[in-house]
A and B are shown apart, each in its own frame.
Chain A
Amino acid sequence: MKKITVEVCACNRCIMMGAMDIMESVESLKKLKTQLRLNTQVELIMDKKICGDLGDEVSPVVSINGDMMTRANTQSVMEQIIKIQRK
């Protein structure tokens, strides 16, 4: 089984700009297991600041298997996860 690690930045700015909604949307993918034919283990982490010195304008920041996504949103993060699992 494939494993995807999704890390969502937990700094205040990222949370204010929707980090918790991104968490929620990734969790919601489990409910679409059949439709998406998901055979991937998604590990979701949100326990520290990962946006570092990227600046104020990049929130929310998400790392998927180590690749940083800036100005992330629910749509772009879910899309990226699905892309990786279908590879």
Chain B
Amino acid sequence: MENGNKMRGVNTPITKIRRQVFTEIAKMAYQDKELSYIEQLPYKIIPGEVAMYRDDIFKERAIVGERLRLAMGLPLRPVGEHQPLANGIEDCAIPEKFYEPPLINVIPFACNACPETTVMVTDNCRGCLAHPCMSVCPVKAISMVDGKSHIDEEKCIRCGRCVEVCPYTAIVKYDRPCASACGVDAIESDNLGRAKINHDKCVSCGQCLVSCPFAAIADKSQIFQLITSIKQGDEVIAAIAPAFVGQFGPMATPEKVFEGIKQLGFKDVYEVAIGADLGAVEEAHHFAHKVATGEQQFLATSCCPSWSVMAKTWFPEVAHCVSDALTPMVATARVIKKEHPNAKVVFIGPCAAKKLEAQRRSVKSDVDFVITFEELMGMFVAKDIEFGDMEVTQSVDQATGDGRGYACSGGVADAIVANINSLYPDLEVKVDHAEGLKDCRKMMTLAKAGKRNGYLLEGMACPGGCVAGAGTILPIKKAQATVKLFKDKSQKHRALESDYVEDKEP
């Protein structure tokens, strides 16, 4: 595991602050507060006179202030200029998407300016006689100083050989957590050594923002604009991603989550697994007609936008092998718009990258807003919606087990293979899958070299799949188990059985 991902699934004060920010912004929108009320929120989230998280309460509030701006969809303020927190807020208080790039932002003064890749000798060094660290160093960077190993920073090439051979685990190598979590090397440094995102490389997977131990990275939200749209009476319909089950606590059954969303003011709720069903069948046909016939080298799945953007950008020679099937989000949005032509569609999912996908020219008219599970939870809390108090009679039964399985790594390929087996029983399907963009890159390197010809390749940017997305609430393993239960309980198992799928013949 990369050191950047080690914090995943551990609830920290950062998680709490992030969620408090969403709740307060949602409350502000639901309660029709004056926009200038935002100036008071840092004091509400960080109360009192004593710093709770950092050495300075003023800095804590300033950072929360920037997070509040991002949650409104506003840009960060320049550090060297005086600007009130509410600067520009009138522009974004609208009932439609407000988005100014970039989506993912480093709050510069929150960044700890962690050193880039570092190899260091810790106090655990015993200055042993063998000192294998010295023997394996290819640049003679290690010497004994005062009876302990000493690394000459100038000479060290950070290969990590000394780390591997030390019998006392006394030498450590670490990366900045944000850079380590980034699978596309998009984290660079500014002139003060602080993290800076190269937006030409960034694919917005959001792994850096959940891996920064100093809460310095955040993405922009659309909850304020969404609630404004709901409140003005728009027909707003939710499309909820398959990873939603279990995310909102043990009392939040899928049926209650649907009911809760309606109580927030949404007119209806659709499972995005409907679109996953459509995609699974389309990709099954595509594999049989193009890959199995040798016309195309391999088929790479397309549902994870960070993975597909990375695959197309880093490996342009084989970009045509990435499926052009609509992603489950877009396919479901089109189903909704067909059935409700005047509706605004809100994708609710685990993922930061979907916010960017919804900005694409070809998708913009299909998906009006994108929010995460964490942001939805903030809305539930802001509206005092409790699942324990709810009584529901309607069951959730729109999609099949195949579509619901898309939420976990391996689930997309499983669904496509199952449908290939149903449609084309004589076909043999070879599968490879990778999770985490670094491993996805390795898989694509092999594919580009012709070592994955005839394969179905599944890529997921988040290690664990969508259930591990940056906007999730439930610990990853538990989420995978919950998704499996829901998948297994589906009335229909094969995507081919979905009422929405038309192309059911080979």
Report which A residues bind B (CB closer than 8 A).
Answer: 10-13, 15-22, 24, 46-49, 73-74
* A47 cross-chain contacts in B, Cβ below 8 A: 250-251
Contact A15 B475 (CB under 8 A): no
| Residue from A18, A22, A47 having most chain B Cβ neighbours under 10 A | A18
- Chain A's closest residue to B380 (CB) is A12
Contact B381 A46 (CB under 8 A): no
Listed stretches B15-23, B113-121, B181-189, B354-362; interface member: B15-23
* A16 cross-chain contacts in B, Cβ below 8 A: 19, 23, 377-378, 380-381, 473
Contact A10 B19 (CB under 8 A): no
| Residue from A12, A13, A18, A21 having most chain B Cβ neighbours under 10 A | A12
Known A12-B380, A12-B387, A13-B381: A19·B249 in contact at CB below 8 Å: yes
Contact B388 A49 (CB under 8 A): yes
Interface size class of B (residues with CB under 8 A): 20 to 34
Contact A17 B19 (CB under 8 A): yes
A18 in complex: contacting residue of B11, B381, B388, CB < 8 Å: B11
Interface residues of B, dominant DSSP: loop
* B251 cross-chain contacts in A, Cβ below 8 A: 10, 47-48
Contact A11 B388 (CB under 8 A): yes
Contact B10 A21 (CB under 8 A): yes
Contact A20 B388 (CB under 8 A): no
A19 CA to B19 CA in the complex, in Å?
13
Does B178 touch A at the CB level, under 8 Å? no
Contact A24 B388 (CB under 8 A): no
Does B474 touch A at the CB level, under 8 Å? yes
Closest Cβ of chain A to B28, distance in Å, is 15
Q: Which of B240-299 contact A (CB under 8 A)?
A: 248-251
- Chain A's closest residue to B479 (CB) is A20
Closest Cβ of chain A to B33, distance in Å, is 16
| Residue from B19, B249, B474, B475 having most chain A Cβ neighbours under 10 A | B249
- Chain A's closest residue to B249 (CB) is A15
A61 CA to B385 CA in the complex, in Å?
18
Contact B249 A10 (CB under 8 A): yes
* A17 cross-chain contacts in B, Cβ below 8 A: 16, 19
Contact A15 B473 (CB under 8 A): yes
